[in-house]
């Protein structure tokens, strides 16, 4: 199964949703039947890949937010660039295409992403309680970050995740200058 996931991940990185199960079976030197014994469809396979990647991001985010050696600004900037590191090899167009064409992938991704936003909300709330951030509406900050993140991802303005990272880093710095004590 790991071989299938690795091969499918490479195919998604290269072709987005435009690879076939025939292509995958030939490149892995296994039968299509073997693939279908593990995954009922290409969409299920891609959904599993996204789920694994998003779980990796959540775990990294948890570790990052607990890291006592990093400043609040470093944590927030890295929080958003970690996502890019994980998906950068796929490219923004492939990721957008997958999420648009495959409702199962979008549904699973949305659930994982909501867990991630909740983690950030809790962290920021704790920072308010510790006195590191002024007592502001964390809900509004999260809403702003969600809206901007979705907008810059969906509008196609940025061709790479690196471009999005630079924009989000500037946004984080602007927010912090307004909330940092």
| Orientation of helix 92-101 relative to helix 103-130, angle to 10° | 110
Class of domain 49-179: mainly alpha
The Cα 177–Cα 181 span in angstroms is 8
Mean pLDDT across 132-138? 89
3-state SS assignment for residue 159 = coil
Domain extents in the chain: 49-179
* Look-up of token digits 């593990």: 38
* pLDDT tens digits, 25-52: 999 999 999 999 999 999 999 999 988 8
Cβ proximity of 146 and 118 under 8 Å: no
pLDDT-derived band at 137, boundaries 50, 70, 90: very high
- Taking 90 as the threshold, does the pLDDT of residue 166 lie above it? no
Q: Residues 6-25: pLDDT tens digits? A: 999 999 888 888 899 999 99
Res 136: pLDDT = 87
**CA-to-CA distance for 54 and 112, rounded, in angstroms?**
6
The pair of structure tokens assigned to 107 is 């549904």
SS3 state at 130: helix
């Amino acid at each position: 199964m790991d071989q299938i996931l690795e091969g499918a991940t490479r195919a998604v990185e290269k072709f987005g949703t435009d690879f076939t199960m025939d292509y995958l079976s030939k490149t892995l030197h296994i039968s299509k039947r073997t693939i279908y014994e593990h995954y009922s469809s290409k969409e299920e396979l891609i959904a599993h890949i996204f789920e694994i990647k998003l779980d990796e991001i959540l775990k990294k985010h948890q570790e990052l937010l607990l890291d006592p050696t990093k400043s609040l600004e470093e944590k927030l900037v890295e929080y958003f660039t970690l996502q890019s590191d994980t998906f950068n090899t796929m490219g923004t167009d492939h990721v957008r295409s997958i999420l648009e064409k495959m409702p199962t992938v979008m549904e699973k991704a949305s659930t994982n992403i909501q867990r991630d936003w909740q983690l950030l909300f809790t962290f920021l709330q704790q920072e308010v309680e510790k006195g590191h951030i002024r007592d502001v509406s964390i809900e509004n900050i999260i809403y702003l970050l969600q809206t901007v993140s979705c907008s810059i991802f969906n509008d196609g303005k940025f061709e790479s995740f690196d471009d999005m990272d630079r924009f989000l880093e500037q946004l984080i710095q602007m927010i912090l200058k307004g909330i940092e004590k």
